[in-house]
Structure 1
Amino acid sequence: MKRAKILLVDDDAAIRMVVTEALKRDGHEVRTAGSVAEQVALLESFVPDVLITDVVLPDGNGLDLVPTILAQRPDLPVIVLSAQNTLTTAVRATEQGAFEYLPKPFDLDELTRAVRDGLARSHGRDEPSVPSEDADLPLIGRSAAMQDVYRMIARVVSTDLTVLVLGESGTGKELVARALHDLGARKASPFIAVNMAAIPRELIEAELFGHERGAFTGALVRNAGRFEQASGGTLFLDEIGDMPMEAQTRLLRVLQSGEFTTVGGNRTVKVDVRIIAATHKHLPELIAAGQFREDLFYRLNVVPINLPALRQRGDDIGLLAQYFLERAAAEGLPRKRIDVAGTERLAAHNWPGNVRELENLMRRLAAIARDPVIPAALIEAQLGGGSSGDLGAEASDSLEQAIEMHLARYFVQFGGKLPPSGLHARIVEQVERPLLIATLASVRGNQLKAAELLGINRNTLRKKLSDLGIEAQRGRTR
């Protein structure tokens, strides 16, 4: 590694010592400062090849000097360290001109690698635009898994590169798309989101590209498609893995040329949009099965961003839970918080519905919890892991609560999309079947007694048993 002069700015003496020793072992000359004032004084006589700076310093913000320094030294690699591990910090560091952003605690090997990479490159930068520290950003979390996401967003937010967001249902893929739009150069232009799985196959092309009057039955006027609506801004194609092949072909042509014709039209429409796509499906498997175009995949997969599942985000679960409770309070629900045991119970859950499931649970708990502090027992009951014998009055085993909990999980399974029609009949059957089986079992299969217990006619009971496929005989029911 090339020997270099490095300026390290951090108010933590222990960090200064450890990092200095590591960099000196690599042969570098290191000078340190513990404040903005010390940094300014050192820069008068010391010309570094790399600047490493913390964000929060005793007398100011370590990022504030970066634009001024880079105006004089545009090729200077700046590496930002921060314990404020938020998307705001990552984006601001990048837009201020930082070469690399490393959240604390960082790995020394990662820091020395960043120094090496910085020395190997020079940077020319435009004047940055800085988002407010108080910006209402959609992504929350300080886990290592989310730091990778923040860094990737920060690197591509000021570009027009196509992004493919990958992750399980409920992980927040649309929030990533919105962050890329709201923090980028197109933020003043439209952000248009389209869910491919929610549009009937025969209407997808008209939805995306628009249609002319008379193009099909019911097309009484010309309608601009989502591409035209998003012109100058961002088009978010959610659940891209559900797009039919014929629509994939048209989409590929638009991505290649930036122009298309409406359904039923012959006029060429040219648009300028940034494309962000997302899916919870494994696209290479769809390609192998002949259900997704390989060339379209490569067009979309310019910058992949992989969102972690909630179960992989550790302490973020408690942070997100309290955030959702605060948001519920802002919307008019009672203000609540979770005790330590409750937070531990949340962390132990597998979260098949990810962040969406957690948000729904917090909203429900805010509504039903009697006390300001939500106990672990109530969380246990709502997550389906408790029994009525040990949960106490707070977590009663009422049928209404059990059905509410079941329905909440039912909707989560569909990843935010509505389930197929006929929901009432399916839920009634799911309740009625175990009710009839339990009642018959309690009277050892005696249908007359069961009908009396249920308060229905015996013939009605027989019809229900037949419709539900329940075989009832004296002494047994199945």
Structure 2
Amino acid sequence: MTHSVLLVEDDKGIATVITEALREEGFDVTTCESLAKRDALLAEHQFDVILTDVMLEDGDGLASIHTVRALAPDVPVIVLSAQNTLDTAVRASDSDAFEYFPKPFDLDELTQAVAQAVASRPAPENVGEGEDSALPLIGRSPAMQGVFRMITRVLRNDLTVLITGESGTGKELVAEAIHELGARKTGPFVAVNMAAIPHDLLESELFGHERGAFTGAIGQQIGKFEQANGGTLFLDEIGDMPAEAQTRLLRALQSGTIRRVGGRQEIGVDVRIVAATNRDLAPMIADGRFREDLYYRLNVVPIHLPPLRERREDIAALVRHFLGQASDEGLPARVASADAIAALTAREWRGNVRELRNAVFRLALMAREDTIDKGAVDDILPPTKPRDEGDDRVGLESAVEAWIESARPADGALYHAALAAFEKPLFELALERTEGNQLRAARLLGINRNTLRKRLSELDIAPEAFARRR
């Protein structure tokens, strides 16, 4: 994908140098030398980033950013200025400029900032097929700015990246951005979720297999490594990878070759590896569940995605984005009032950006008025309990302990009683994560689809209740 840049600069020499530098990095650059021509171009064309000088022939480029915001409200603006004063820097910050560069500036830093600004915009729709593909990379918070800076630092190289963060923060979107904005953007982007593939099929999924390699292998299959040749392979939920597959993955990373299951030939592959996990791998390494040498192979460049509770200042922009997305998908066009934004910002969002998106879609569907207010938020969304920031272990262990205390199963019956108590919510969670898709839910759970269907019937669970509503 080619990204467009509008450069507003009346010094032809500087404009030429910037234009050539950006075009070398693959950007499509349009130049103009005045505010009037800038506004005319913005009225007729869409741009991904705007670079503007301050002192122009017909006015102050910094003072007129409000006009840019009216014509292109979501486009990041980078300010360039020969007026190297604190006042200019403060004005640039107050105007919500994405970045400020005093002249003379480093061209490499400028091109990196442009790439970072592009990455800060909502990701293209349907780039990937993962659960995070509908989540945007939006955020002016310091935490997200740090993420954007890390993304720009890996665009010009093939270093392996490990993305960490809680479920629903948008890890796959970061992987997609690294691919789409980087040197491998013309190659394939292949994503594989380790948690969604039965362990006995994972090696075949990654490396492929030859005919007759195992029961059911009726033909040769090309694995994800070969499918991603020349591009990027995204290994999601890497912490769920079984030990044997970890060993084979390490060997592939070290040698740059793979061998199909049941095959004898070593096959060279040229892929960039981006991995992700919502688990803390350190204790898994300590107890032998994750290979330490594989961890260091993957964790060359770490990128941590912050949970939504640590970047609440981004919630307003996310809500506006999701309301627009909901309207594009056929739901009623809505806007959120200031008190509704405040109410949404105050909530916990344990499911992070994904949970916020689902909540905004629910509000767009069920609100009675075109303007969503605090009353609608309180009426439509269930209340949330305050998060205990001092104890992140509140969760599964506490739930099990609370159940044991209340159920008090008889001696010798704890195991079977616990299975009976937790099986239904576990199945419901799997269906919720896969939006009612039974095949994906079975893969996530690591069981046969027929087994899943039988247990859903016995537990009186309706998969259609978890299907996404459009």
Identify whether the pair has TM-score above 0.5, normalized to the shorter chain. Answer: yes
Quick one: distance in 2 between partners of 1:274 and 1:199?
21
Letter in 2 for 1:290: G
Separation of aligned partners in 2, 1:249 and 1:262: 14
Structure 1 pair 141/371, CA: closer, same or farther in 2 (3 Å)? same
1:328 corresponds in structure 2 to 326
Question: Partners of 2:182 and 2:75 in 1: how far apart?
Answer: 13
Moved more, 166-175 or 366-375: 366-375
Q: Residue type matched to 2:142 in 1?
A: A
Match of 2:302 in 1: 304
Q: Is the 8 A contact 2:151 2:178 kept in 1?
A: yes
Matched, 1:211 2:209: yes
User: Which residue number corresponds to residue 231 of structure 2?
Assistant: 233
Q: Which residue of 1 aligns with 2:251?
A: 253
Cα–Cα, structure 1 residues 374 and 410, in superposed 2: closer, same or farther, change >3 Å?
A: farther
Once the two structures are superposed, what CA deviation does each residue of 1:20-67 show, in whole Å capped at 9, x if it has no partner? xxxxxxxxxxxxxxx9447979xxxxxxxxxxxxxx9975798589xx
Matched pairs, number:
333
Distance, in Å, in 2 between the alignment partners of 1:288 and 1:268 is 32
Highest CA radius of gyration, 1 or 2? 1
Q: 1:261 to 1:226 in 2, by over 3 A?
A: same
Instruction: State how far apart, in whole Å, the 1-side matches of 2:218 and 2:77 are.
Output: 49
C-alpha distance after superposition, 1:434-464 (max 9, x if no partner): xxxxxxxxxxxxxxxxxxxxxxxxxxxxxxx
The reply on whether 1:346 has 2:344 as its aligned counterpart is yes
Equivalent residue number for residue 282 of structure 2:
284
Which amino acid letter does the alignment assign opposite residue 286 of structure 1? M
Contact 2:115 2:152 in 1 (8 A): no
2:279 partner SS = coil
Equivalent position of 1:185 in the other structure = 183
When the two structures are superposed, what TM-score results if normalisation uses the length of structure 1? 0.59
Secondary structure of residue in 1 paired with 2:229: coil
Among candidates 361, 364, 367, match of residue 366 of structure 1 = 364
Task: Give the counterpart letter for 1:243 in structure 2.
Answer: M
How far apart, CA to CA, are the structure 2 residues paired with 1:425 and 1:371? 41
The letter for the 2-side match of 1:299 is R
Q: Find the residue that maps to 1:315 and give its secondary structure.
A: helix
Structure 2's unaligned 5+ residue stretches are 1-7, 15-31, 39-48, 54-64, 81-89, 125-135, 385-424, 446-451, 463-470
Amino acid at match of 1:332: G
- For residues 231 and 334 of structure 2, the distance between their equivalents in structure 1, rounded to whole angstroms, comes to 39
Contact 1:90–1:154 (Cα < 8 Å) also in 2: no
SS of 2:258's equivalent in the other structure is strand
Q: Which AA in structure 2 matches 1:304? A: P
One-letter amino acid of the structure 2 residue matched with residue 359 of structure 1 = R
C-alpha separation in 2, matches of 1:303 and 1:87 = 29
Q: Aligned partners of 1:263 and 1:318: how far apart in 2?
A: 49
Residue 246 of structure 2 aligns to a residue whose secondary structure is helix
Residues 164 and 333 of structure 1, relative CA distance in 2, 3 Å threshold: same
Q: 2: distance between equivalents of 1:179 and 1:155?
A: 12
Tell me the SS of whatever aligns to 1:345: helix
- Whether the aligned pair in 1 keeps the contact of 2:122 and 2:138 (CA below 8 Å) is no
Structure 2 CA distance for partners of 1:125 and 1:321, relative to 1, 3 Å: closer
> For the Cα contact (< 8 Å) 1:228–1:271, is it kept in 2?
yes
Larger RCO (alpha carbons 8 Å, 6+ apart): 2
Provide closer, same or farther for how the CA distance between residues 145 and 129 of structure 1 changes in structure 2, counting only shifts above 3 A: closer
